[in-house]
Structures are given as C-alpha cells and as structure tokens.
Amino acid sequence: MRRRHKLIIWGPGDMGGQALRTALASPDFDVVGVKVFSPHKDGVDIGELVGLPAVGVTATTDKQAILDLEADCVIHTPTTPALMKGADDDVIDLLESGKNVVSAASYHNVSMANWLTESRPPLDILRTLATMRTTGAVPGPQERQAITALRWAMRAVDSPLAAPVRPLVQTFADKSMDRAVPRRRTGERIQQACLRGGVSLHGTGLHPGLMVEQVVLRLAGLLDEVREVGFLEVGDLSAAPDGMWGGLSSLGFGTELSAVNSDHAIALAQHFYFDAVLGNVAHALFGAHSRDVRVERHVYPVPARVEVTAGGTVIRPGTVGAIHMTYRGYLGDRLFMTNEECWHVGPGNAHLGPDHPDSHTGGHVIRLDGLPGRIDMRNVAADDAGGGDWSAVTHISVKAMLDIVAAVCAAPPGAVIADLSPRYQLEAL
C-alpha cells in the first residue's frame, strides 16, 4: 500500500489552485494546510476555495500557523514578483521547520548565482535595479518612484567626486539593503536550511523542469559528444490567467516598444529561471560548476499587428505584441547553449522565425549539435487550440510537481535535481 503524504499548498493561485484541486482528489495525499495571501481567502475551507465540497481544513494567511503544521512536503507556487520580495526566506523557514519543498519558482539550480544574489556587491545590485524598466501595475507607483530616485542616487555614487566616500556607501548598502530589496539567498544558505531541517528542496515544472532537465538531457545521451544545445519555446499568452506575473502589461505587452529591452523587469526576473537551466546543462553535459557559467541576455519587443484584448490588457497595433528573450550560456568564450523564449498575445501577433514551431499557438524546438551528428526535435500545438490552451501548461507543471513528491521526501537532505542515470526494474512475467 502506497504511503499518503501530508501536503501543504503555498499560494493557491492558478498553478497552486490546480495543485490543490488535484491533491484533494488524489489517494496519494492528505492536504493539511494552505497558505493564502488575500484576506478574503483567510478561514475559507480549502475545498470550497477551489470549487469542491468542504473538507474541514481552512486556509490561512498566518505563516507561523503553516510552519507549525506537521507535513511531509510543501507545494510552493508563489508569483514571479514574489521572488524579488523575499520568497527565499519563506522557503528557508519551511525547510528549517522540517518540511520538504517542491517549488515551481526558481529553485531548479540553487548553486547558480544571479544579479540579485546576496553574494554580489550591493552596489552592483543597486546599479542593476537603477537601470530596470517597469511597465503595468507591478511594481506600483511607489516602487517606480523608488527606482527613479535610485537611478539618480547611483549616478551620484558613481561620479568621480564620490570616490572617497564610496567604500562607506558600500558598507551602508550592505547592512541596509535587505530591508529595502531582499536579496536572493545563496545556494550554500539554502543547503544549510535543508540540512538543518533534514529535508530536501526540488524545483520543477514544464520549463524549467521537464523540457530541458528531462527531455533535452535524455536526448543528449544518444550522442557520443554534445557541442552545443539550442532550446526554443514559443507561446501564446492570450489565454494565460490575468494575474500571472502581475498581468500582461507588467510583462510589457501593450506598452510602447521603447519600454521593453534587456533591462526590463521581466528580462531580469527570467534570469532566476533560465540561469538555472543553463547551469544544469553545463553541469550535466560538460561537468562544469555553476560558477564557471556566464549568462548573457538579449530581449527585444515586436510590434503587434492586430488589436487583442486579453484579460485586463488591451494590445493595439504598434504596441508590444510579442517579446523575444534570449539567454546564452558560455563556458569561457565557448557558447554551449542558447535558450529562447518567444511569447506573443493572440495568433495574429505571433513572431515566428524560420526555425520556430509552425504554429501560432506555440510549441518547442530542441537542437543538439554534436557527434556523430545533430538531433532536431519539435513539438507543435494545434492552431485550433483556442488561442493557446494555458490550462495544459498548468496541468503539466502541476503533474510534474506532484509526481516528484514521494521521491523528494525519500531523498537525502539537500537541494536535489533530477537523476538521469539508467534505472531498471524486473519485468513482470
């Protein structure tokens, strides 16, 4: 008889809500708690929260109440903006309370440092934030005003006249920065939390997660030598939940073309995900450590050709209708992987190059160059899928998270990644 695992759902939005609905219907789980962030959800029965009959467990906004629960694993599905607002500390608290964590949010390779990691000099982080472009409702007007003020402050700090006091400013920034902008915690700090709680942390989903860390790396095993990897994801976001990532306008859609570039908030936020992808490939295929991986990003907007209304965002011709994001991974001067994301809103605004999936709805293209040859593979969504069936993306991501719970709970303490080594079982005769 399979063991039922006690589960907590952290953040029942689109993905977390689907995880909650699926877990409640599964014989493999007992959902013992749900962490919500909206006051109107506090105290609501978790079954009724997702349109099911009441189950006798209520959701809570009280983080300490969640930490005090006895549970095997937490399904962690915060919003992407939450990663820049201290989500790491929540995960560390969960781990140290003795709960395994399976997350959809940026824990696919915790050893990969990024521009917001606490190991980076605070002034370098502030310079990045000062150049960050924002659109839409997130961050709000106060945050945008703070970025403008920071831009002026960094100009002053970087002027030649400020050289004598710069070390003092650096010290002050190091001591006070986390109160204003919580930095991402290092892999060492997260590993320490795992060991202290005697539990494991794993990041997974559709991408990052299944597509590269499982599919691409397994295909790579067919080659004697891999020289370069290419991965392209094309998606129509017109059917995406309106609140995802803070809304389409926060991603830059429907704004002036000049508002979106490589310093836009979405470009910086996606670093948390695609850095991990590049780091995992470098380690799995080339034996490289994350510290040896250099990542370059290039993000550009594509004008909309037709008007589209998606959720609360209106995208008019000439404004941003598609965004192409490219993250390239280097070992020294050697390009070893290119990860591209090409997102559009509405089939009429699809930005499809000659090597893209032949579908306005989207899909994936995999390219592996090596010896004895090259592997090309693609999956293409049908154009009659209703402008992009986002529920399929959510379903696959949730399934990946729930399917791995038992293995993560059984794993030795620490941050864990997928094991691609051959495994066998006896044939049933």
pLDDT of 261 reads 95
| Rounded Cα gap, residues 297 and 313, in angstroms | 26
| Rounded Cα gap, residues 279 and 277, in angstroms | 5
Common-topology check for domains 5-113+185-204+406-415 and 206-390: no
Q: How confident is the model at residue 142 (pLDDT cuts 50, 70, 90)?
A: low
User: Any idea which fold 206-390 has?
Assistant: Dihydrodipicolinate Reductase; domain 2 (3.30.360)
Tell me what the mean pLDDT of segment 20-35 comes to: 96
State the DSSP H helix or E strand holding residue 286, giving kind and residue range, or none if neither. Answer: helix 265-286
- For strands 100-103 and 374-380, give the pairing: unpaired
pLDDT for 38-96, tens place per residue?
Answer: 999 999 999 999 999 999 999 999 999 999 999 999 999 988 778 878 899 999 999 99
| pLDDT over 80 (residue 381) | no
SS3 336: strand
- CATH class assigned to 5-113+185-204+406-415: alpha beta
The rounded radius of gyration (Å) of the Cα atoms in the chain is 22
Question: For the chain, what are the domain ranges?
Answer: 5-113+185-204+406-415, 122-180, 206-390
Token digits of residue 210: 């299944």
Range name among 79-83, 209-213, 228-232 with the lowest pLDDT average: 79-83
Among candidate residues 303, 312, 204, 203, the one with its CA nearest the CA of residue 260 = 303
| Rounded Cα gap, residues 319 and 149, in angstroms | 27
pLDDT for 232-245, tens place per residue?
Answer: 999 899 887 766 66
Token digits of residue 308: 């589209």
| pLDDT over 90 (residue 414) | yes
pLDDT for 247-273, tens place per residue?
Answer: 788 889 999 999 999 999 889 989 899
Residue 401 CA: distances (Å) to CA of 103, 208, 209, 240, 420? 7, 12, 9, 20, 17
* DSSP 8-state secondary structure symbol assigned to residue 186: P
First to last CA, the chain: 21
